[in-house]
Amino acid sequence: MATVKTNPAPTGGTTAQQFDVVATYHRLLQEDAEITMPVAAIEALILGLANTPATTVSETLDLVSKLTEQLKQSISNPISLSAGTDLFQQYLISNLQRPSARGDFDSIRGHLVQNGRLFVERAKAARETIAGFGRRFVRDGNTVLTNGGSRVVGSLLRSAAESSNDRGGRGSIRFRVIYVVSPASHTSNESESEANIRALRERDIPVATIPPTAIAYCMDTVTSCFVGAEGVVENGGVVNRLGTLQMATLAKAAGKPFYVVSESHKFVRLYPLSQQDLGIEQNIVDFRTANGSEKESDPRLMGDEGLADMDGGRDVMIRSASTPTCPPEEAVDYTAPHLISGIITESGVLLPSAVSEELIKIWF
């Protein structure tokens, strides 16, 4: 777990430009392999708030807003990060508007920073709570299908393995896991997917690895599916690594339960209606001819994801020229709520329809 150290602001003051929130964010991710993107973003904002002087409420909110924008512009897919930064901004606003917030601003600011750190610690502890809820969905003789390197899914399956061993004695195998891995992941021994697979096998849980093209072939043998999330959106759908939609669609067709495992700090204020509504640039479908990419040869197609307006023309999504393109290995898709059986969080197991209520509690 990363240790957050607060250094006093240097004499003369530190500005938002001097404090490198992007470097701090990446450092936190490197120092703590277990930290999630939203929590790392919140920690980076707390450090920025603690190390940059501000004397008024408006200056504090403006500082956090600027640091947040720097973070979002620095990565190709800010959906997961945005859940954390937006939540922290709402936390600041709600606390600064309370009647008890009147008084010495320095004391109030210090109190907010300290409480922010408590929130971070609770967010980190949520994974074990989720594992306690989720392991009840893994029963004797089950075959679980999962994908990606989700830490919270890995924690859930390890907890289920340890629970089964506690009941039946070491070596008493209770369930099996089918892990979907892309061919590229086999070249990296340090990938999160392989870390989860290795941890399960060390606990005597049989794990089979399959390519994404074998999901339909294996679905008849699967009992249930578990996936993580980069973001749980307002309508109860989920944004996660590319291929999650395929797994959910096949699970629905086969009548197999499909569970999303996610911390509540990944609930994000986003309401996509289709794959093109995620607000990020993804060159997943790149039409090419012998002369090269179609987008490169026709500037009108730059940023156009193929949406059509009511008049039959192009509905070109307007993006900043500096918006980074999400690389293929980090691409995501959107899975609609009707494909999801339940969302396992630290607050319990929610139906997708309950996500909007949870967001209302958080934001209002």
The 3-state secondary structure of 79-101, one letter per residue: HHHHHHHHHHHHHHHHHHCCHHH
Alpha helices in 98-150 (DSSP H): 105-134
Which residue is associated with the tokens 């197999």? 256
According to the per-residue pLDDT averaged within each range, which of 146-155, 165-174, 249-258, 345-354 is highest? 249-258
pLDDT band at 9 (very low <50, low <70, confident <90, very high): very low
Q: Mind listing the pLDDT tens digit for each residue in 312-364?
A: 443 433 344 445 566 666 789 999 999 999 999 998 999 998 888 888 777 66
Q: Does residue 1 have a pLDDT over 80?
A: no
The fraction of the chain above a pLDDT of 70, given in percent, is: 73
Each residue's pLDDT tens digit, 47-89 = 888 787 766 778 888 888 899 999 988 888 888 888 888 888 8
CATH architecture of 21-127: Up-down Bundle (1.20)
What are 87-98's pLDDT values in tens digits?
A: 888 877 777 666
Q: What is the pLDDT of residue 295?
A: 64
109 or 19, which is more confident: 19
More confident residue, 308 or 192: 192
Helical (H) or strand (E) element with 282: strand 281-282
* Higher pLDDT pick, 26 / 109: 26
CATH 1.20.120 in the chain is located at 21-127
The tokens for 57 are 């409420």
In the predicted structure, residue 299 carries a pLDDT above the cut 60? no
Please give the DSSP secondary-structure letter assigned to residue 255: T
Which CATH code, of 3.40.190.150, 1.10.760.10, 3.40.50.10470, 3.30.70.1290, is assigned to 131-272+330-363?
3.40.50.10470
Residues of the chain with CATH 3.40.50.10470: 131-272+330-363
Instruction: Return the residue matching tokens 């759908």.
Output: 237
Sequence letter at residue 306: G
Give the model's pLDDT for residue 298.
Answer: 58
- Which is more confident, 284 or 146? 146
Q: Which two tokens stand for residue 216?
A: 């339909």
Please report, as a single letter, which amino acid is at residue 218.
C
Please check the confidence at residue 137 and state whether its pLDDT lies above 70: yes
Residue 240 has pLDDT above 90, yes or no: yes
pLDDT digits (tens, 9 = 90+) for 29-49: 888 877 888 888 888 888 888
Percent of the chain with pLDDT over 90: 32
CB 237 within 8 A of CB 206: no
